[in-house]
Structure 1
Amino acid sequence: MKELVGFLVTYKQGFVVPFISVYGRSGSGKSTIVKFVCENLDGVSHCFVNLRKARTVFGCANLILAELGEPNLKSAQGINLTVEKIQNAIISTWQLATINYN
């Protein structure tokens, strides 16, 4: 939990922390800790995605897009477009959060 808070505090100081991966044994409380920390830090916008539900890399991308309020893409559209859509959605979310925070 201390490391997670440390990453998020550096974000609040102006450093960019676009993604944080948390891993460990099943049932060890990873999701609970991440949700608790993110919900209790003022001024931190977060998006929680449980990638365990995905079966493929493209499925992971669509879970992220869905959490960001974006429509799913078809695999035929390619992973490059998907990554670009995720990036644009993150930037839009960050800009909105910055406006609302200030």
Structure 2
Amino acid sequence: MSMASHEFRTPLSTILSATNLIERQNEVGQEEKRIKYLSKIKISVKNLVGILNDFLSLSKLEEGKVISQPTLFDLVEFSESLVEEIQGVKKQVR
């Protein structure tokens, strides 16, 4: 439960910080900063949705509602695609 709490707290803190910054950046000419903070909010919300979906999936597995079906996959290809995805997110955050 403490791990779940931490996983939710981080994106929620980001959302709260970004909304506070948006409130302060309400002058003309601050559009770029507002867009940057809104992007952070969107990314954090997507992260929260992903975390919730993961918890729901784990819960369904534990309850026996979903039966896992292991499959073989190319670990190198998967790792490369994961690195590409992370690089894309990394560029968006900056």
- Name the TM-score, length of structure 2 as normaliser: 0.34
- Name the TM-score, length of structure 1 as normaliser: 0.32
- By percentage of residues, which structure has more helix? 2
Q: Which has the higher contact order (CA 8 A, sep 6+)?
A: 2
